[in-house]
Amino acid sequence: MKKMKAIQIEEYGDESVLQYTDVERPKPKADEILVKIHAASVNPIDWKIRDGRGKALGKQLPLILGADFAGIIEEIGSEITKFKVHEAVYGKILTGCYAEYVIVKETELGRKPKNLNYNEAAAIPMGALTSWQAIFETAKLKSGQKILIHAASGGVGSMAVQLAKAKGAYVIGTASARNIEFVKNLGVDEFIDYTSTNFEEVVKDVDVVFDTVGGDTLARSFQVLKKGGFLVTIVEKPSQELAKKHGVTAQHIASRPNPEQFEEITQLVEQNKVKPHVEKILPLSEAKEAQQLSKAGHTRGKIILTP
């Protein structure tokens, strides 16, 4: 029985439940692929699952955390047709990436962009797919339209800014003053420092709001939309009462793997229209620190773990 290193939880709780341990290395079934992980990125969903959301999602303990990764295909099942052994890939699942190896389906993978290393590639899938599905698939953002993106310096927000710009939208981004240069370099047309300015006092008539913050920020966002506009959030269910009052549509989404979107995202990355930002690289054994940094909420782009 082959073993691998992984970060596993046997109970829900704070970062003290994260265990760096030896577990059995998985074997791919006929329709599965075994990927040797070179880098995994840290996402808020990881520590939310760890805190207890895993129960609501029907996850079984013990559980290996981690939602997106980059690596090399080690082994493929007999039914796999789109990928070959030794191909460099990146992908998105819900759990399982804080490890040396991960089992995935064909639909959960894309070919790693040729112009990125593994750490950079691992910083893309969750943020880019979430943004794509929120702003293009759900809110139907089009070229020439105006979008307000909250937390524009974060792992998801920084991807959303670049994708919206790549598709020809006018982008307004909120972040704290320390991130002004970073967010402007992503390509925003307008920057709002949320620590000194109430965005609803300076933004009017946008077509789409993309919220990655929730709470009060989400509630205040209804005021800046034009009639018929669209508010999309990845944090919580938005108030349908407020949506009705303001004559807009409001929806919560959770991202999922999508091979066609993966391909389009990879093309934009290879055309240098979308670039990941890696804030910090830590060894897998330091997942506790990585999750603490992520939960503190001041990260630009992504924190990466390397097995």
Q: Is the pLDDT of residue 297 over 90?
A: no
Average pLDDT, the chain: 97
Q: Is the pLDDT of residue 299 over 90?
A: no
Answer whether 299's CB lies under 8 Å from 293's CB.
yes
Q: What is the band of 172 on the pLDDT scale with cuts at 50, 70, 90?
A: very high
- Residues 111 and 71: their CA atoms lie apart, in Å, by 10
pLDDT in tens, 187-213: 999 999 999 999 999 999 999 999 999
Q: Is the pLDDT of residue 272 over 90?
A: yes
Residue-level pLDDT at 66 = 97
Residue-level pLDDT at 1 = 85
DSSP state of 140: -
- Residues 174 and 121: their CA atoms lie apart, in Å, by 25
Distances (CA, A) of 157 to 5, 150, 188, 209: 31, 7, 11, 12
Q: What is the band of 276 on the pLDDT scale with cuts at 50, 70, 90?
A: very high
pLDDT in tens, 12-63: 999 999 999 999 999 999 999 999 999 999 999 999 999 999 999 999 999 9
Residue-level pLDDT at 71 = 98
Q: Is the pLDDT of residue 298 over 90?
A: no
Q: What is the band of 288 on the pLDDT scale with cuts at 50, 70, 90?
A: very high
pLDDT in tens, 113-159: 999 999 999 999 999 999 999 999 999 999 999 999 999 999 999 99
- Residues 263 and 269: their CA atoms lie apart, in Å, by 10
The end-to-end CA distance of the chain, in Å, is 20
pLDDT in tens, 68-111: 999 999 999 999 999 999 999 999 999 999 999 999 999 999 99
